[in-house]
Amino acid sequence: MKPASSRALARQRAGEPSPVRHRHDRPRRPDLTEVERQIAGLANRSTQDLRVAWCQLHRTGPPLRLSRDLMIRALAHQLQEQSYGGVGRALRRRLQSLAGASKKATMAVDPGLVLKAGTTLVRQWRGHTHTVLAHTDGFEHEGQLYRSLTAIAERITEAHWSGPRFFGLTRRESALAGPKARR
């Protein structure tokens, strides 16, 4: 009796299909050249045709002042996603959580207020002067680096305080309403 490997080799030489299914025998996704052809065709379409394609895809018009190049890139991405599948749910959730963590880390001060690195904040509290130095990656107080002003305010006061408010970086609504009311 011949070993299985020599029988498979004989079948292969004879042109017969192998009874064993391999990974590369799986049905393939759409032909890569077809997707490439569609993407290359986007560059040859008029801007109006691209807008119509955008409307068909998103059920709304493209954003105002969206450049032709970005419209082509977005449509190409959608073609690839339709052909090869999009991002899975688990990865999408992970990306959203990372984006949320990044947003929290960069919002150390009120969203409308940006402190340049090197800015010094000074606050008197119960007879002591507290100085905070802003860095690109946080705030320094008494030689220790903190991610937010709130953490520093809580350490100083031993109570929950809004850091920007503690250091006088927020504007009160009444202060803003005063000049408007006088006009």
Give the rounded distance of the alpha carbon of 149 from its chain centre. Answer: 25
Instruction: Identify which of 122, 120, 110, 118 has the alpha carbon closest to the alpha carbon of residue 156.
Output: 122
Q: Rounded to 5 degrees, what angle do the CA atoms 76, 78, 83 make?
A: 95
Tens digits of per-residue pLDDT, 52-111?
Answer: 999 988 888 888 888 999 999 999 998 888 888 888 888 888 888 888 765 554 444 555
Instruction: Tell me phi and psi for residue 163, to 5 degrees.
Output: -60, -50
Residue 5 pLDDT class (50, 70, 90 cuts) = low
Residue where the block lists tokens 């030489």: 13
* Largest CA-CA distance found in the chain, in angstroms, rounded: 104
